Structure 1
Amino acid sequence: MIAMFDSGLGGLSIWRAVSKALPDWPITYLADQAYAPYGSRSRAEITRRTLQAGHFLEQQGAKLLVVACNTATTVAVKALRRELAIPIVGVEPAIKPAAAASRNGRIGVLATPATLASDRVRSLIEQHADGVAVLSQPGTGWVERVEAGDLDSAHTRKVVSEALAPLLRERVDHIVLGCTHYPFLEPLIRELAGDGVTLDDPAHAIARRVRSLLADQAAPGRLPRYRFITTSPDACDMAAHLPAMIGAAYPVESHPLEQTPPSQPHRL
């Protein structure tokens, strides 16, 4: 099976693309909601949780792991690749395609503070944005709004508008969605940013990469098609949000990473 994890529900934006690209493959999705959001945590804590999640999913039988979290990828993917024996696909902000496609040489990058401060983002800008002005902006409060399933309230509109305002003042023509939670706010972002701004989301590129890595393998049989796990003790909360986020209801298991095995699924 394919495994993927995120600090919470944001990685479901990657799940949507991967499940569409590989409809015959079972996917296990782990949301570390007990520790969400990662973006304000220390590098040591992010690395520890990433390694715990990776080891757990490898033990569950994963053939490939998608780190469906920009923060975990930028902080801890190297450590994860040293410790796990399976292929790992990370997620990183789509700075390269945004810079290449920019018409006016001005792009924005929206991400968590930890992602924006990472060496990986600095490297991407240095390698792929030569001659392009890159304006970085934290999506303060965005992860929390997505985790709450609040995608269009007055409060959500306020926090999204406040983060977009500096980028729009600088007339960027591309905005990189550098957190997997942010695509769930895409309709609102598009409304506020206007038709002249292109949003860059790496989900489909990630799906193509996963498909290429598994091209010579047959999808395993006799496994649940889709499995969802949260580290929160309240599995019903995640289960309640799945229909709006991925278009279908599924049972959700609650499993603190420090404990095994997972509990019984909770259904709506």
Structure 2
Amino acid sequence: MIGMFDSGLGGLSVWRAVSALLPELPLWYVADQARAPYGGRDHGEIIDRSLRIGRHMQAGGAELLVVACNTATAVAVTHLRRALSIPVVGVEPAVKPAAIATKSGKVGLLATKVTLESRRLKALIENYAADVEVILQPGTGLVEQVEAGELDSADTRALVAAAIVPFLNAGVDQIVLGCTHYPFLSPLIRDIAGPDIELLEPATAVARRVSSLAGPVHRVCRDTPHQFMSTAPSQRSTLAMHRMLGFSFPVMPLQL
């Protein structure tokens, strides 16, 4: 079984990609909605929550852990790899492919405040995008809108516009979606950004990485059903899941 967690429902963008590539692979998804979003919390709390969830999933039989959260990856993935005995796959903004693809020499990166300020992101930019201009922009309020299932409301459109227009004014031709919640807002982002801007997100790359590691797990556990758990389950989050995926699963409560 593959464990996967996020602060909330945004990691379902990664779940969707992994499930599409490996449809028989059982996935155990945990949403830490009692503390979502992670993007406004301090590093110590993010590390503590990530370790609690990772240890719980390893003890529960997960043979591989996907950190389906850019913020948790930026802050806690090194700690998880030290603490756990199973492989840990993180999610990082698609800075490298954006830097390769840009023709304008300008790339926009939309992410949470914690991700934007992380040393991990700074190293990513220095290593792969030193020759281009990377314009950083926080996606203020966007995680909350996705968690509420407000994917196309007037309020969400206003927040998306506030985040995207600075990129357009700067002349970017690539926008990196540096939070797993943001792909669910891609239709709005495309509508505002226009057809000439490319959106990049890492879910497909993460799915390929999981596929490369999960062969034995796939063979052993193919009959195990998917599991969804939340530290704050609600009917509202179930409805949001349905809007995001087009279907929903029963969400079980989890206390950690």
- Return the TM-score normalized by structure 2: 0.97
Residues 117/222 of structure 1: CA separation in 2 closer, same or farther (3 Å cut): closer
Task: Let me know the Cα RMSD of the aligned residues.
Answer: 1.2
Q: Is the 8 A contact 1:236 1:252 kept in 2?
A: no
Query: Which residue number in structure 1 is paired with residue 228 of structure 2?
Result: 228
Distance 2:240 2:255 in 1: 20
Q: Which moved more, 1:220-229 or 1:33-42?
A: 220-229
Shift, 1:238, TM fit = 2.4
Query: Which residue number in structure 1 is paired with residue 89 of structure 2?
Result: 89
What secondary structure, in the 3-state scheme, does the structure 1 residue paired with 2:220 have? coil
Bigger RCO (CA 8 Å, 6+ sep): 2
Query: Which residue number in structure 2 is paired with residue 54 of structure 1?
Result: 54
- Pairing of 1:1-268 with structure 2 (within 5 A): 1-221=1-221, 224-232=224-232, 234-257=233-256
Distance 2:52 2:252 in 1: 17
Q: Is the 8 A contact 1:111 1:177 kept in 2?
A: yes
Distance 1:54 1:214 in 2: 17
Q: Is the 8 A contact 2:67 2:91 kept in 1?
A: yes
Q: Is the 8 A contact 1:235 1:254 kept in 2?
A: no
Distance 1:125 1:74 in 2: 13
Shift, 1:247, TM fit = 2.3
Structure 1 unaligned segments of length 5 or more: list them.
258-268
Structure 2 unaligned segments of length 5 or more: list them.
none
What secondary structure, in the 3-state scheme, does the structure 1 residue paired with 2:140 have? coil
CA deviations on 1:68-116 (whole Å, 9 max, x unpaired) are: 0000000000000111010000001000000011011100000000000
One-letter code of the match for 1:2? Answer: I
Q: Is the 8 A contact 1:108 1:137 kept in 2?
A: yes
Paired residues in the alignment total 256
Identity %: 55
Q: Is the 8 A contact 2:149 2:241 kept in 1?
A: no
Distance 1:237 1:248 in 2: 14
What secondary structure, in the 3-state scheme, does the structure 1 residue paired with 2:229 have? strand
One-letter code of the match for 1:181? Answer: H
Distance 2:76 2:174 in 1: 27
Query: Which residue number in structure 2 is paired with residue 261 of structure 1?
Result: none
Shift, 1:196, TM fit = 1.1
**Normalized per residue, which structure has more helix?**
2
Shift, 1:217, TM fit = 4.5
What secondary structure, in the 3-state scheme, does the structure 2 residue paired with 1:54 have? helix
